[in-house]
Homo-oligomer: A and B are copies of this chain.
């Protein structure tokens, strides 16, 4: 810590600055979810369905346990969401080859379509924010978010970019 700045340059760590960051996070998260929420409202799905579709689309063939770790809910809770998605033909669940206890999850064509629609809306919102703030701000944004994750989730987050 000997190379930490001192005095006024630590202003970003005052309680007031931290509080503003907390409130910014709260308000921004609402904007973050507003676009997909609006789409979901029409079709009697919720955020939980969106999250499942997102991560299944991101890593096709993922088994339920891994999805559980990513979403951080109980398997019973995920199962309800997953069941409706499978019943509605948006997600396909294939029994594992090596281990028949496992179910591997895939988006159907219809599932892909909805996922794309939701993602496009959310990306459009993020794109506008990124554009407004500029590339340097985006770099800082990503750094703070990553530092804010719980260690286990940070590993999962990084893992998504590798395999």
Contacts and interface: CB of A to CB of B under 8 A. Distances in A.
Contacts of A12: 130, 135, 138-139
Question: How many subunits of this chain does the assembly comprise?
Answer: 2
A123 B147 CA distance: 14
A143 B133 contact: yes
Given A145-B25, A149-B31, A161 B20 contact: yes
Contacts of A51: 26
A32 B132 contact: no
A15 interface: yes
A13 interface: yes
Interface in A34-76: 34, 51, 54, 58, 72
Interface residues of A, number: 62
Contact of A21 (B4, B142, B148): B142
A119 to B, nearest CB: 7
B157 A27 contact: yes
A126 B12 CA distance: 11
A94 interface: no
Interface of A: 4-5, 9, 12-13, 15, 17-32, 34, 51, 54, 58, 72, 119, 122-123, 125-150, 153-154, 156-157, 160-161
Given A21-B142, A28-B145, A133-B146, 16 more contacts: A12-B138, A12-B139, A17-B138, A18-B126, A19-B119, A20-B142, A21-B145, A31-B153, A126-B148, A128-B147, A129-B147, A132-B147, A137-B140, A137-B141, A140-B140, A140-B144
